[in-house]
């Protein structure tokens, strides 16, 4: 709970009280599941005298939206409050009702939202509320809210999931030795890190070449080998058949075999299934296909202090013949993982 004096003090210090409460809503939103078809959203209901009346956040598909959860907790006390919501209240009735209508019906006097809803199906809640006499302020901490739902926003605005290409490479850019062996280029600590990041994605994707050569499980596992609670959808793209006893076809997680070599076809199918973050672990040929089509948004590279001299390159031919045409990335993080360096970078001109 926060008192009136605290709110007045924040204002006297030049701080925007709306930002203060929105930061709390963002904290709540972050409690929602990363791997879900829906965005993570938080809501705080604040009384006119600066008291928190109720809080809520979205817990996953089919559960009440953040606004509905907060309104349920508040009951009649919601009347006259200000609702701080990290995403524009939806104006769409699906599995759950319209949040804009629910806020109005509960007597909420004012709505402050961060990110404008980029989903054309659900957008328009702010306008609906204004038309029905509710004061609305938008764009408060919009950048922070958008970053919280980066991949979901990307899907809503582009029609494609956010694609993170993970690669493990030697200092001289090799992903396998001359005899084809690639286990293990990187350290055990790096592999554990990969499993952690896999678990935060909706799907992990490889080509049939990787599936046949490495016979991977593509599951997300704890350091002791046990399966994590959240498993990505395993996707193999390519026209070749997989043996019935392939590890990727076991019952540890669902698996799709999409018989196409077209990255756009794969991403379209995943988008239709509500997947908004794809972890690409394909070999150099698949990686080159995604890069050539402009469908890689981020790269997570584990660089081992190893030289091979010969062997398979980490990426196939991109058709680049001059340094001026090189694909330039913007590093967002560089971290030492065991003896390896993890470099995270985004394509400067992502679609």
What domains appear along the chain, each with residue ranges and CATH number?
A: 4-148 (3.40.140.10), 156-347 (3.40.430.10)
The DSSP secondary-structure symbol of 248 reads G
3-state helix, strand, coil in the chain (%, to 5): 30, 25, 45
**Residue 194 C-beta-side C-alpha neighbours within 13 Å:** 24
Alpha-carbon gap, residue 182 to 167, rounded angstroms: 12
Q: Which long-range contacts (CB under 8 A, 24 or more apart) does 116-119 make?
A: 116/88, 116/142, 117/87, 117/88, 117/90, 118/153, 118/156, 118/157, 119/156
In the block, tokens 């293990």 appear at 184
pLDDT at 11: 42
Per-10-residue mean pLDDT for the chain, 351 residues long? 40 72 97 92 96 95 92 96 96 76 96 93 88 95 96 95 95 84 86 95 95 93 94 96 96 96 97 96 90 94 92 85 88 95 83 41
Alpha-carbon gap, residue 52 to 23, rounded angstroms: 13
Alpha-carbon gap, residue 131 to 126, rounded angstroms: 9
| Torsion sign, CA atoms 228, 231, 237, 243 | positive
**Is there a catalytic annotation at residue 67?**
yes
pLDDT at 175: 86
Alpha-carbon gap, residue 181 to 287, rounded angstroms: 18
Please answer whether residues 341 and 335 qualify as being in contact, where contact means their C-beta atoms are separated by less than 8 angstroms: yes
Please answer whether residues 277 and 156 qualify as being in contact, where contact means their C-beta atoms are separated by less than 8 angstroms: no
Alpha-carbon gap, residue 333 to 261, rounded angstroms: 31
Please answer whether residues 233 and 254 qualify as being in contact, where contact means their C-beta atoms are separated by less than 8 angstroms: yes
Alpha-carbon gap, residue 36 to 65, rounded angstroms: 13
**Residue 329 C-beta-side C-alpha neighbours within 13 Å:** 18
pLDDT at 223: 94
Helix (H, G, I), strand (E, B) or coil at 179: coil
| pTM of structure | 0.87
Please answer whether residues 65 and 99 qualify as being in contact, where contact means their C-beta atoms are separated by less than 8 angstroms: yes
Please answer whether residues 260 and 208 qualify as being in contact, where contact means their C-beta atoms are separated by less than 8 angstroms: no
pLDDT at 349: 55
Alpha-carbon gap, residue 296 to 284, rounded angstroms: 13
Pairing of strands 340-347, 298-304: antiparallel
Residues 6+ apart with CB under 8 A from 175: 167, 168, 169, 182, 185, 283, 284, 311, 312, 313, 314
Which tens digits make up the pLDDT trace of 258-317? 999 999 999 999 999 999 999 999 888 999 999 999 999 999 999 999 998 888 888 888
Annotated catalytic residue, options 19, 55, 67, 272: 67
Please answer whether residues 277 and 151 qualify as being in contact, where contact means their C-beta atoms are separated by less than 8 angstroms: yes
Alpha-carbon gap, residue 233 to 279, rounded angstroms: 10
pLDDT at 315: 87
Residue 259 dihedral angles phi and psi, to the nearest 5°? -85, 70
Alpha-carbon gap, residue 248 to 214, rounded angstroms: 10
In the block, tokens 């694609």 appear at 163
**Residue 160 C-beta-side C-alpha neighbours within 13 Å:** 17
Alpha-carbon gap, residue 183 to 204, rounded angstroms: 19
Helix (H, G, I), strand (E, B) or coil at 215: coil
């Amino acid at each position: 709970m926060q008192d009136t004096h605290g709110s007045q003090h924040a204002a006297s210090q030049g701080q925007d009280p709306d930002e203060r409460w929105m930061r709390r809503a963002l904290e709540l939103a972050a409690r929602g599941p990363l791997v879900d078809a829906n965005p993570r959203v938080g809501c705080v209901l604040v009384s006119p005298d600066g008291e928190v009346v109720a809080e809520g956040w979205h817990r996953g598909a089919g559960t009440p939206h953040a606004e509905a959860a907060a309104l349920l907790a508040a009951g009649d006390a919601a009347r006259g409050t200000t609702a701080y919501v990290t995403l524009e209240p939806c104006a769409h009735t699906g599995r759950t009702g319209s949040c804009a209508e629910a806020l109005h019906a509960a007597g909420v006097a004012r709505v402050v939202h961060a990110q404008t809803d980029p989903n054309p199906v659900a957008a328009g809640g702010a306008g609906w509320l204004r038309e029905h006499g509710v004061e609305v302020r938008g764009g408060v901490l919009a950048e922070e809210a958008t970053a919280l739902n980066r991949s979901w926003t990307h899907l809503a605005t582009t029609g494609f999931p956010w694609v993170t290409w993970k690669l493990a490479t030697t200092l001289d850019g090799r992903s396998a030795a001359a005899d084809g062996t690639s286990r293990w280029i990187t350290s055990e600590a790096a592999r554990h890190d990969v499993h952690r990041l896999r678990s935060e994605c909706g799907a992990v994707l490889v080509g049939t070449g990787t599936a046949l050569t490495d016979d991977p499980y593509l599951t997300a596992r704890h350091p002791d080998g046990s399966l994590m609670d959240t498993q990505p959808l395993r996707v193999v793209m390519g026209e070749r058949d997989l043996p019935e006893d392939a590890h990727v076809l076991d019952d540890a997680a669902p698996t799709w075999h999409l018989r196409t070599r077209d990255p756009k076809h794969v991403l379209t199918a995943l988008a239709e299934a509500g997947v908004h973050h794809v972890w690409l672990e394909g070999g150099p040929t698949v990686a080159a296909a995604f890069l050539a089509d402009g469908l890689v948004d981020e790269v997570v590279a584990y660089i081992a202090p190893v030289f091979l001299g010969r062997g398979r390159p980490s990426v196939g031919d991109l058709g680049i013949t001059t340094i001026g045409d090189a694909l330039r990335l913007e590093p967002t993080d560089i971290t030492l993982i065991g003896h390896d360096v993890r470099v995270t970078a985004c394509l400067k001109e992502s679609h």
